[in-house]
Amino acid sequence: MGVRKKEATSVPEKPKVRTPRKKAAESPESRSEEHAPSGKKVSAAPKGTLIIVESPTKARTLTRILGSDYKVKASVGHLKDLPPSRIGVDLDNGYELQFVVSEGKKKVLDEIRQAARSAREIYLASDPDREGEAIAYHIASELTGLKKPIRRVLVHELTPRGIEAALAEPGEIDLHKVDAQKARRALDRIVGYTLSPLLWERVRRGLSAGRVQSVAVRLVCDRESEIRSFVPVEYWTITLEMRPSDPSRSSSVFAARLDRIKGKKAEIGTAAEARETVDRILSEGFRIAGLSADEKRRQPSPPLTTSRLQQEGARRFRFSAKKTMQLAQKLYEGVELPGQGQTGLITYMRTDSVRLAPEAQEMARSFIAKNYPGALPAKSPAYRNKKGIQDAHEAIRPTDAVRTPDSLEGILDRDLLRVYRLIWQSFLESQMVPARYLLTTVTIEGDKEDTFRATGRRMLDPGFLVLRGEGVRSRKKTEVGEEEGEEKDEEETELPLLHEGEAVEAAAPPVSLQHFTEPPPRYNEASLIRELEEKGIGRPSTYATIMSTILDREYVEKRENRFHPTELGETVNRLLVDSFPDLLNVAFTARMEEELDSVEEGEKIYRDAVDDFYRPFSKELSKARGGGMANLKAQSEPTEIPCPACGTLMVKKWGRHGAYLACGNYPACKTTRNIVETENGPAPEALPEAAGEICPACGKPMVVRKGRFGTFLACSGYPACKTTRPWPPKGESGPPVPLPAEIPPCPACGGAMVVKTGRFGSFLSCANYPKCKTTRPLPTGIACTRPGCGGEITPRKGKRGTFYGCSRYPECDRTYPGRPVSRPCPQCGHAFLIEKKKGKAAFLSCPEKGCGYESEDGEEPGITA
């Protein structure tokens, strides 16, 4: 069961493992729910066992629970991956993947091998999902030559009972899961390593395309198109406050809304129609035409899946999907609890299932019976999973219901506590009775042609809502609930006692309000994740990465927590939709996800799934490369915008930083401008003058420009004058960097010296560049303290970064490790101090040997000369 020695260029041999039985995968949930005492050590496996997990935090939690009889090592994620420098998929040989040891992981692998040599047996306890299965497979392929028993364990919760259950029934590596992960990896690598270079060539460098991310961008762009094409329609609503005509009951006022006119739905489209209707209502008499009271139920939601956890985190707390998953990962891997050590607080957080183990349901029932007996159902509610979901492990839940969020106040930080409260509350609510309320509807008819409707709602039994502090007469707002952005329920309003046939009258004049229909809302993270899930695109474990990628690539941007497509995103989306209709087709992408699931279930072969995607994709790719995809770099789009320098109409072009405007008279006029969107459409970016800043070379005003490294000052006489200066200083936002009081002219040609910024910071350069390429360090204004030197302390670049030294080097070789500050030493009187750092704290130190003065940590360093 050995593996080949040269893994860098070959596919690792499969370790001889079998597909595990379903029982093995589910066994951790069929164990006792009782916690082992904190001092008890788990002993489900023999001594001398090596357990390999993914993260160091998880390793620490396992070490605390298992004790010294076990050795626990962390792989720190994937040990092996496809090579970064090439596609790594053999397209001509059954789509074999060419895995190599990941950069920086050789030392980790060596430590695991060393520990494995002295172990009696090896347990692979990476996460219980596709990625975790692939990690276990790659580790096994590296350790099979040791001839040690290698077993797979699925740890669903990092508690004594969960770990004992996992170790008691070890299984084997699920090769179907491994193949499913390989198929997904192959598809993503094929798309990324073939489409991205095409986009670099046709649009700009640094772009990327992805099998799922590109569909997500398309959804955002399509929604934006809907919004742009939407035409709002005006409509009016009319409400009327009423009361019984009986004077003794005149205080029983209630509000009703106009519902029907002449028996048809009330549709009022203009202000004139609204005024006419109001005038008619003022002359009408009204009576109660109908009363109905129905008991309604509000069912609790199922326990959380990965997708719903991400959606609720975004909706309630405005967390990104990435942040929500990072917080959940911490809760799963373990948090330091007083007297208990590192303890896992929730079960595994990557799951599509709403199923709960029977023992988990009993745990919830026990807690509810003790604390909320009125909300305990006769039997535990059961929730049905969606068709085709992966049911390897149960829904996300707390490992111990008794560990309430309130008991963790002051132990968990605010964000961790919010996510834990969300999971804990969702779990318990799912096992409680529904909320019951009485919905009353009253129909009021006028003696002409108008019908009003009033509704009221009264809580009968709060059911699961009692967990949020809501009683029959109370509507307390809690952190997980309305205060955090949860959709508000209907108002708890009660109607007065009314009788059918009773006369009622207006208590105040009718109120008419104008409205307009609204376009569909732009996606936020919660709604985009929900859309992807409903359409079967991607998997919940990938959504956080997708959200981050489309933002990082600048295909979309967030404004007011909503996704807006950028011009770059819409351009790339248009090119991909035109050239790769299948790749950007929602139904096609969803079908591919189903095929990947079929590979995991053993119903489809890895190579067939990849081939079903690659064959149509390769045809589209060949067509795009042959000229089917437009080359924006070689195109220029005419505009009606005049060049600010010569008046020639500008053209829109694409460069390495996106779209920009260039003079149509190029190369005679080389004026360029960034594009900004205005109310009248795209326009050249206005370049503000920097007040009081004059070009030292030609005397024209300096203006603010944007370049690859941010903003800077440039002469308004460009391209005739190419003088530039940094603005604002790095790490600041304010006025331009002031020039030193006196700057001698260029020693080579006598021209003016100007401040410029390069890869190593600011420096002085001759204004006659490129004819004269003289440069000098930017002076600090602090004189060298060596007697008779006359030099000045200036910044210099060395092997270990920036340091400061005398400008008369090599005649004077004085150097200083920190930036000089024009402040005399209060201890020895030295002319200046230098900045130093200890960790994140900055302080001032005297450079004079033997003095030893240091300012206290946090003391204001002073003004730099």
Q: Which residue has the higher pLDDT, 795 or 468?
A: 468
The predicted structure's pLDDT at residue 529: 93
The predicted structure's pLDDT at residue 521: 95
pLDDT digits (tens, 9 = 90+) for 617-671: 999 999 998 888 888 888 888 888 888 778 889 888 877 667 788 888 888 887 8
| Range in 292-301, 309-318, 576-585, 754-763 the model is least confident about | 754-763
342 to each of 132, 331, 440, how far by Cα in Å? 22, 10, 53
The predicted structure's pLDDT at residue 229: 94
Q: Which residue has the higher pLDDT, 667 or 175?
A: 175
pLDDT of 858 over the 50 cut: no
Catalytic residue among 70, 332, 348, 420: 348
Angle CA 644–645–649, to nearest 5 = 60
DSSP label at residue 248: G
pLDDT of 157 over the 70 cut: yes
pLDDT digits (tens, 9 = 90+) for 217-251: 999 999 999 999 999 999 999 999 999 998 888 88
The predicted structure's pLDDT at residue 646: 85
The predicted structure's pLDDT at residue 70: 87
Longest dimension (CA), the chain: 110
pLDDT digits (tens, 9 = 90+) for 574-597: 999 999 988 888 888 888 888 888
pLDDT of 733 over the 60 cut: no
The predicted structure's pLDDT at residue 8: 35
Note whether 699 and 708 are within 8 A (CB). no
In sequence order, which residues have a C-beta less than 8 Å from that of residue 194 and are 6 or more positions away?
87, 621
How far, in Å, CA of 692 to CA of 696, rounded?
12
pLDDT digits (tens, 9 = 90+) for 488-503: 444 567 899 899 999 9
What percentage of the chain exceeds 90 in pLDDT? 39
What dihedral do alpha carbons 217, 223, 228, 231 form, nearest 10°?
Answer: 180
What is the overall mean pLDDT for the chain? 82
pLDDT of 63 over the 60 cut: yes
Mean pLDDT (whole number) for 324-351: 89
Task: Kindly write down the DSSP assignment for every residue of 706-755, as one continuous string.
Answer: EETTEEEEEETTTTT---EEE-S-TT--SSPPPPPS--PPPTTT-PPEEE
Q: Which is it for the CA torsion 480, 484, 487, 488, positive or negative? A: positive
The predicted structure's pLDDT at residue 16: 43
The predicted structure's pLDDT at residue 742: 62
pLDDT digits (tens, 9 = 90+) for 795-841: 776 766 678 888 778 788 888 888 788 788 877 778 888 887 765 56
Q: Partners of 445 in the beta sheet?
A: 287, 451
Across 291-295, 338-342, 645-649, 675-679, the highest mean pLDDT is recorded for 291-295
pLDDT of 737 over the 90 cut: no
Mean pLDDT (whole number) for 779-784: 78
Instruction: Give the count of alpha carbons within 13 A of 33, CB side only.
Output: 20
How far, in Å, CA of 490 to CA of 411, rounded?
36
pLDDT digits (tens, 9 = 90+) for 391-444: 567 899 999 999 999 999 999 999 999 999 999 999 999 999 999 999 999 999
Coil, strand or helix: which one is 703? strand
Region for 458 from its dihedrals, namely left if φ exceeds 0, alpha if ψ lies in -120 to 50, beta otherwise? beta
Confidence band for 476, pLDDT divided at 50, 70 and 90 = very low
The predicted structure's pLDDT at residue 389: 65
pLDDT of 689 over the 80 cut: no
Q: Which is it for the CA torsion 455, 460, 463, 466, positive or negative? A: positive
The predicted structure's pLDDT at residue 210: 87
Q: Which residues of 505-530 are buried (b: 16+ CB within 10 A; e: fewer)?
A: ebbeebebeeeeeeeeebbbbbbbbb
Q: Which is it for the CA torsion 103, 104, 105, 110, positive or negative? A: positive
Confidence band for 158, pLDDT divided at 50, 70 and 90 = confident
Mean pLDDT (whole number) for 59-71: 85
In sequence order, which residues have a C-beta less than 8 Å from that of residue 606 and are 6 or more positions away?
95, 179, 180, 182, 183, 599
pLDDT digits (tens, 9 = 90+) for 22-54: 333 333 333 333 333 334 455 555 567 899 998
Q: Kindly report the number of other CB atoms within 10 A of residue 130's CB atom.
A: 27
pLDDT of 854 over the 90 cut: no
Q: Which of 314, 303, 396 is nearest to 351 (CA)?
A: 396
| Range in 22-31, 76-85, 372-381 the model is least confident about | 22-31
305 to each of 209, 311, 355, 386, how far by Cα in Å? 28, 10, 10, 11
In sequence order, which residues have a C-beta less than 8 Å from that of residue 98 and are 6 or more positions away?
9, 10, 11, 82, 83, 88, 89, 90
How far, in Å, CA of 20 to CA of 449, rounded?
72
Confidence band for 785, pLDDT divided at 50, 70 and 90 = confident
Instruction: Give the count of alpha carbons within 13 A of 695, CB side only.
Output: 25
Across 572-586, 697-711, 759-773, the highest mean pLDDT is recorded for 572-586
Please indicate whether residue 348 is annotated as part of the active site: yes
What dihedral do alpha carbons 740, 744, 746, 749 form, nearest 10°?
Answer: 150
pLDDT digits (tens, 9 = 90+) for 518-551: 999 999 999 999 999 988 888 888 898 899 999 9
Segment holding 298, helix H or strand E: strand 286-298
How far, in Å, CA of 483 to CA of 770, rounded?
62
pLDDT of 482 over the 50 cut: no
Confidence band for 287, pLDDT divided at 50, 70 and 90 = very high
How far, in Å, CA of 651 to CA of 640, rounded?
8
